[in-house]
A and B are shown apart, each in its own frame.
Chain A
Amino acid sequence: MSESCKTELRREKVNRLVNIAPSRLDLETVRQKLASARGKHYWRSLEELAEQPDFQELLHREFPRQASEWTDEVSRRNFLKLMSASLAFAGLTACTRQPTEHIVPYVRQPEETIPGKPLLFASAMPFGGHAFPVLVKSDMGRPIKVEGNPDHPAGNLGTDLFAQASLLDMYDPDRSQAVTVLGDVSTWGKFLESLQGPLVSQKPLKGAGIRFLTERSTSPTLASQMRAVLLAFPEAKWHQYEPVNRDNSRGGAQMAFGEDVAAQHRLENADIIVSLDANFLSSTENPQFLRNAAEFGRRRKADLKEKINRLYVVESTPTITGAKADHRLPLRAFEIEQFARALMAQISGGGGDTRFGNFLSALAKDLTAHRGSSVVIAGETQPPVVHALAHAMNDALGNAGRTVVYTDSVEVSPEGFRGCVDSLQDLNNDIQAGKVDLLMILGGNPVFDAPADLNFNENNQQLMKVPLRVHVGLYQNETSNICQWHVNQAHYLESWSDARTFDGTPTIIQPLIDPLYSGRTMHEVLTAFSNQPGLTSYDLLRAYWQGQHPGDFENFWRKSLHDGFVPGMGLQPRQVTLRSRDFPATSARSAGSGIEIVFRPDENIYDGRFANNGWLQELPKPLTKLTWDNAAVMGLNLAQKLDVVSEDLVEIELRGRKLKLPVWIEAGVPDQSVTVQLGYGRTHAGRVAQGAGVNTYRLRLSDAMQFASGAKLGKVDGHYQLAATHHHHNMEGRALVRAATVKEFEENPRFAHQELEEPSPGETLYFNYDYSKGYQWGMAIDTGSCIGCNTCVVACQAENNIPVVGKFEVTRGREMHWLRVDRYYTGTYENPKTHFQPVPCMQCEQAPCEVVCPVAATVHSTEGLNDMVYNRCVGTRYCSNNCPYKVRRFNFFLYSDYDTPVKKLMNNPDVTVRSRGVMEKCTYCIQRITRARITAEKEFVGAQHAYREIEDGEVKTACQQSCPADAIVFGNINDRNSRVSKLKAQPYNYSLLADLNTRPRTTYLAEVMNTNDELTGPDLMKEVENKVVTQEKEG
Chain B
Amino acid sequence: MVPQGPTETLRETAMQADDPVLAPGHNFVTITEKVIAIPLRRGTPLWWIGVFAIAFGIMNVMLLVIAYLFIKGVGIWGVNIPVGWGFAIVNFVWWIGIGHAGTLISAILLLLKQSWRNSINRFAEAMTIFAVMCAALFPVLHTGRPWLAAYWLFPIPLTMGVWPQFRSPLIWDVFAISTYFTVSVLFWFMGLIPDLASMRDNARTTLVQRIYGMLAMGWRGSARHWKRYETAYLVLAGLSTPLVLSVHTVVSFDFAASLLPGWHTTIFPPYFVAGAIYSGFAMVLVLAIPLRALYGVEDMITMRHLDNAAKVMFATGLIVAYGYFMEFYMAHYSGNPWEIFMMTNRSNPSVGPYAPAYWALIATNIAIPQLLWLRRVRRTPWMLFLVSCVILVGMWLERFVIVITSLHRDFLPSSWGFYIPTRYDWAVFIGTLGLFTSFFFLFLRLMPMIPAFEVKTLLPEAKVHK
A binding-site residues for B, Cβ under 8 Å: 726-728, 730-734, 736, 766, 809, 812-814, 820, 822-824, 837, 839, 848, 851-856, 872-878, 880-882, 884-886, 888-894, 916-919, 992-993, 996, 1033-1035
Q: In whole angstroms, what is the CA distance A890 to B143 when docked?
A: 11
Known: A852-B258, A854-B174, A996-B259. A918 touches B144 (CB 8 A): yes
Q: Is B2 an interface residue (CB 8 A)?
A: no
B73 close to A813 (CB less than 8 A): no
Q: Which residue of the partner chain A has the closest CB to B160?
A: A872
- Complex Cα distance A851/B165, Å? 8
Query: 8 shortest A-B CB distances, which residue pairs?
Result: A875-B144, A917-B144, A892-B75, A1035-B353, A877-B84, A813-B80, A886-B415, A822-B414
Q: Which residue of B lies closest to A729 (CB)?
A: B413
B254 to chain A, nearest CB (A): 8
Q: Which residue of B lies closest to A888 (CB)?
A: B81
Complex: A888 Cα to B410 Cα, angstroms: 14
Most buried by B among A730, A822, A884: A884
B: number of interface residues (CB 8 Å): 51
Q: How far is the CA of A812 from the CA of B74 in the complex (A)?
A: 13
* Separation of A917 and B167 alpha carbons in the complex (Å): 22
The reply on B57 being an interface residue by CB < 8 A is: no
19 contacts between A and B (CB under 8 A): A728-B413, A766-B167, A812-B78, A813-B81, A813-B417, A822-B412, A851-B168, A854-B153, A874-B145, A875-B145, A878-B84, A880-B82, A880-B84, A885-B415, A886-B410, A892-B144, A893-B75, A916-B145, A993-B411
Could you tell me if B75 and A884 are in contact, using CB atoms closer than 8 angstroms? Answer: no
> CB of B169 within 8 A of chain A?
yes
What is the CA–CA distance of A21 and B43 in the complex, to the nearest angstrom? 71
Asked if B391 is an interface residue, CB under 8 A from chain A, the answer is: no
The answer to whether A890 and B84 have CB atoms under 8 Å apart is: yes
Contact of B260 with A881 in the complex, beta carbons under 8 Å: yes
At the interface, yes or no: B170 with Cβ under 8 Å from chain A? yes
**In whole Å, how far is B37's beta carbon from the nearest beta carbon of chain A?**
48
Measured between beta carbons, the chain A residues less than 8 angstroms from B80 are: 812-814, 892
A877 contacts across to B, CB distance below 8 A: 79, 84-85, 142, 144
A893–B73 touching, CB < 8 Å: yes
Query: Does any Cβ of A come within 8 Å of B466's Cβ?
Result: no
- Chain B residue contacts of A727, Cβ below 8 A: 416
Q: Does B164 contact A (CB under 8 A)?
A: yes
Measured between beta carbons, the chain B residues less than 8 angstroms from A732 are: 341, 413
Knowing A814-B80, A873-B145, A877-B85 touch, does A839 contact B412 (C-beta < 8 A)?
yes
B389-408, CB < 8 A from A: 407
Interface residues of B in 89-142 (CB under 8 A from A): 139, 142
Decide if B414 touches A848 in the complex (CB within 8 Å). Answer: no
Contact yes or no, A885 B144, CB < 8 A = no
- Interface residue? B257 (CB, 8 A): yes
B223 within 8 A of A: no
Contact of A851 among B72, B148, B167, B416 (CB under 8 A): B167
B169 touches A876 (CB 8 A): no
A916–B341 Cα gap in the complex (Å)? 35
Asked if A884 contacts B410 (CB within 8 A), the reply is: yes
| A875/B170 in contact, CB under 8 A | no
Shortest C-beta distance, B349 to chain A (Å), equals 8
Closest to A889 in B: B81
CB <8 Å contact, B81 and A886: yes
Chain A: CB-nearest residue to B80: A813
**Chain B residues whose CB sits within 8 angstroms of the CB of A855 once the complex forms:** 149, 152-153, 162, 164-165
Task: Determine the chain B residues whose CB is within 8 A of the CB of A839 once the complex forms.
Answer: 412, 414
**A881 with B411, Cβ < 8 A, contacts A894-B73, A996-B259 known:** no
B84:A874 contact, CB within 8 angstroms: no
| Interface pair A728/B416, CB less than 8 Å apart | yes
Binding site for A on B (CB under 8 A): 72-75, 78-85, 139, 142-146, 148-149, 152-153, 162-165, 167-171, 174, 254, 257-260, 337, 341, 352-353, 407, 410-418
Give chain B's interface secondary structure class: loop
Residues of B within 8 A of A873 (CB): 144-145
B260 to chain A: which residues have CB within 8 Å?
Answer: 881-882, 884
- Contact (Cβ within 8 A) A734 B413: yes
A816 to B260, CA, bound (A): 22
Contact B144 A813 (CB under 8 A): no
Q: How far is the CA of A824 from the CA of B415 in the complex (A)?
A: 12
Task: Return chain A residues, CB-CB under 8 Å to B143.
Answer: 874-876, 917
Complex interface: chain B residues within 8 A of A992 (CB): 412
Chain B residue contacts of A889, Cβ below 8 A = 81
* Bound Cα distance A481, B187 (Å): 76
List chain A residues, Cβ under 8 A from B411: 734, 884-886, 993, 996
Do A881 and B167 contact each other (CB < 8 Å), given the known contacts A855-B152, A873-B144, A917-B143? no
User: Are B144's CB and A919's CB within 8 A?
Assistant: yes
Residue of B85, B162, B353 near A881 (CB, 8 A) is B85
Q: A915 → chain B, closest Cβ, in Å?
A: 8
A876 touches B259 (CB 8 A): no
Kindly name the residue among A839, A876, A881 whose own CB sees the greatest number of chain B CB atoms within 10 A.
A881
Further contacts, 18 of them, CB under 8 A, given A728-B414, A855-B162, A884-B260: A734-B413, A736-B412, A736-B413, A851-B168, A853-B168, A855-B152, A855-B165, A875-B143, A876-B149, A877-B84, A877-B85, A877-B144, A884-B411, A886-B415, A892-B144, A917-B143, A992-B412, A1035-B353
CA distance A852 to B170 in the complex (A): 7
Cβ-defined partner of A884 (8 Å) among B81, B152, B170, B412? B412
A822 cross-chain contacts in B, Cβ below 8 A: 412, 414
* Inter-chain contacts of B78 with A (CB < 8 A): 812
Determine which residue in B142, B163, B174, B414 has the highest number of CB atoms from chain A within 10 A of its CB, and name it.
Answer: B414
Q: Which of A853, A855, A873, A1033 has the most CB of B within 10 A?
A: A855
Centre residue among A736, A813, A878, A919 by max chain B CB count within 10 A: A813
Q: Which residues of A contact B407 (CB under 8 A)?
A: 881
Task: Report if A848-B81 is in contact (Cβ < 8 Å); known contacts: A874-B148, A892-B73.
Answer: no
Residues of B close to A885: CB separation below 8 A: 411-412, 415
Contact A886 B418 (CB under 8 A): no
A1033: which B residues are within 8 A, CB to CB?
Answer: 418
Cβ-closest chain A residue relative to B168: A854
Give chain B residues whose Cβ lies under 8 Å from the Cβ of A916.
73, 144-145
A839 vs B254: C-alpha distance in the bound complex, in angstroms? 27
> Which chain A residues lie closer than 8 Å to B149 at the CB level?
855, 874-876
B258 & A848 in contact (Cβ 8 Å cutoff): yes
A542–chain B nearest beta-carbon distance, Å: 51
Residues of B within 8 A of A890 (CB): 81, 84, 144
Which partner residue on chain B sits nearest A727 by CB separation?
B416
Given the complex, which residues of B lie within 8 Å of A892, measured CB to CB?
73-75, 79-80, 144
Chain A residues lying within 8 Å of B171, measured Cβ to Cβ, are 854
